[in-house]
Amino acid sequence: MKLALVGPSFFGYLERLAQVFEERKISCVFFDERPSNSLLGKILLRVLPMTLKARITEARFKKIVKFLIDNEFTHVLLISPEAFPAWAVVELRRMGLRVCGYGWDSLKNKPHLGSLDQILDAVASFDPVDCNSRGYSLVPLYSDAFSSSVDAPTRETHVMCCATLHSQRPQWIVKMEDICKRRGWVYEFMLFYHARWLWLIRYSLWPHVWRLFSSISVRSFSRSELVAATRRSRVVLDLHHPHQSGLTMRTFEAISLGAMVLTTNSNANASVPEEISSRIFILQAEEAEKNLMAAISFVPKPLSTEALRFLTVDRFVDQLSFILQETGSTASSIR
């Protein structure tokens, strides 16, 4: 197998995933479908006339397709594609490559994969709702960090949350902060937004959340900061993104680092084994304090070898490899 991962670059995840395939002796290269990921490049692509933007992106896709064919790639995995064109999928399959798709986000948030699924050889997703409605294979995400050091019930921080402060999240943060203060629980909220003034404008009609203004960081938190904060926390609060039902990497990381997960995602237990789901608590607005208390006081049993492996990138790559190498096609034939 000679594999190409194609999709938008985000947080280095896909570059790292290509390395994991390489470590398995599978030739693998990541191709960023975006012409540029620099801030200036992204701004230019937004303000350029549509015809010029289309010409630039089309040239990018033609270059990728030509490279894959000329260098005899055998498999392509489109990961949360944002603009990869149907003609490119048709051409790659016509030349004998097996082309599959994976949704690292929901179709409601990133619908483009849904426009391609009928011409792909196979499609998988981390989102249980999309899998149920579209017939995709469910492949949950994974963790890149593990720890067996300190039991969660003895950790100094009761609840931790790292989140970009959009949608309904400010209301949740204020609510959880009030509960923690009343109970005397230690909390650590790592809140991010691109610009404080922009956040204040966006939430100008929500005076009850203005107190969060001074706590907002305009600097993204590093992975090492997140891991360290998780290691000292009993519970990680997951205020899941609207329209998404899959568990994020951060929730897998929390469990693999020994913390419990308290999530607003009502579908959270749909994609994990029972051993892991026992560490996931659903957060409901009317019972928030009760839910948080249950998560903080829960004393988990050590995870089995099987459950630990489920959390790893090895399990994730195994599932993707099966989909990539499966014989036959689960999509419409290309004639």
Number of domains in the chain: 2
Phi, psi of 48, rounded to the nearest 5 degrees: -65, 150
* 183 and 61 share one domain: no
Q: Judging by beta carbons within 10 Å of its beta carbon (0-12, 13-18, 19+), is residue 260 exposed, middle or buried?
A: buried
Neighbours of 238 (CB within 10 A): 23
Predicted pLDDT of residue 48: 53
Cβ atoms 167, 139 nearer than 8 A: no
Task: Compute the distance between CA of residue 301 and CA of residue 193 in angstroms, rounded to an integer.
Answer: 37
Predicted pLDDT of residue 70: 96
User: Rounded to an integer, what is the distance from CA 87 to the centroid of its chain?
Assistant: 27
Q: Is residue 91 part of a domain?
A: yes
Cβ atoms 48, 71 nearer than 8 A: no
Q: Judging by beta carbons within 10 Å of its beta carbon (0-12, 13-18, 19+), is residue 10 exposed, middle or buried?
A: middle
Q: Is residue 145 part of a domain?
A: no
* 87 and 169 share one domain: no
Q: Is residue 332 part of a domain?
A: no
* 131 and 175 share one domain: no
Q: Element (H or E) spanning 32, and its range? A: strand 27-32
Instruction: Dig out the tokens for 260 from the structure.
Output: 């419990």
* 158 and 301 share one domain: yes
* 120 and 183 share one domain: no
* 108 and 168 share one domain: no
Q: Is residue 159 part of a domain?
A: yes
* 64 and 28 share one domain: yes
Coil, helix or strand at residue 155: coil
Predicted pLDDT of residue 45: 52
Q: Element (H or E) spanning 229, and its range? A: helix 223-231
* 122 and 159 share one domain: no
Cβ atoms 170, 206 nearer than 8 A: yes
- HEC string of 254-304 equals HHHCCCEEEECCCCHHHHCCHHHHCCEEECCHHHHHHHHHHHHHCCCCCCC
* 100 and 231 share one domain: no
Cβ atoms 33, 56 nearer than 8 A: no
Range of the domain at 234: 152-310
Task: Compute the distance between CA of residue 246 and CA of residue 142 in angstroms, rounded to an integer.
Answer: 11
* 30 and 78 share one domain: yes
Q: Is residue 321 part of a domain?
A: yes
Predicted pLDDT of residue 334: 31
Q: Is residue 333 part of a domain?
A: no
Q: Is residue 270 part of a domain?
A: yes
The per-residue pLDDT for range 101-121, each reduced to its tens digit, is: 999 999 999 999 999 999 999
Phi, psi of 14, rounded to the nearest 5 degrees: -75, -35
Q: Is residue 239 part of a domain?
A: yes
Task: Compute the distance between CA of residue 191 and CA of residue 75 in angstroms, rounded to an integer.
Answer: 40
Count of all residues that appear for the chain in the document: 335
Q: Assign residue 108 the CATH number of its domain.
A: 3.40.50.2000
* 120 and 201 share one domain: no
* 156 and 295 share one domain: yes
Neighbours of 48 (CB within 10 A): 13
Only one residue has tokens 């089995």, namely 304
- In terms of DSSP bridges, do strands 75-79 and 2-7 run parallel, antiparallel, or are they unpaired? parallel
Residues of the chain short of pLDDT 50, as ranges, are 39-40, 42-44, 328-335
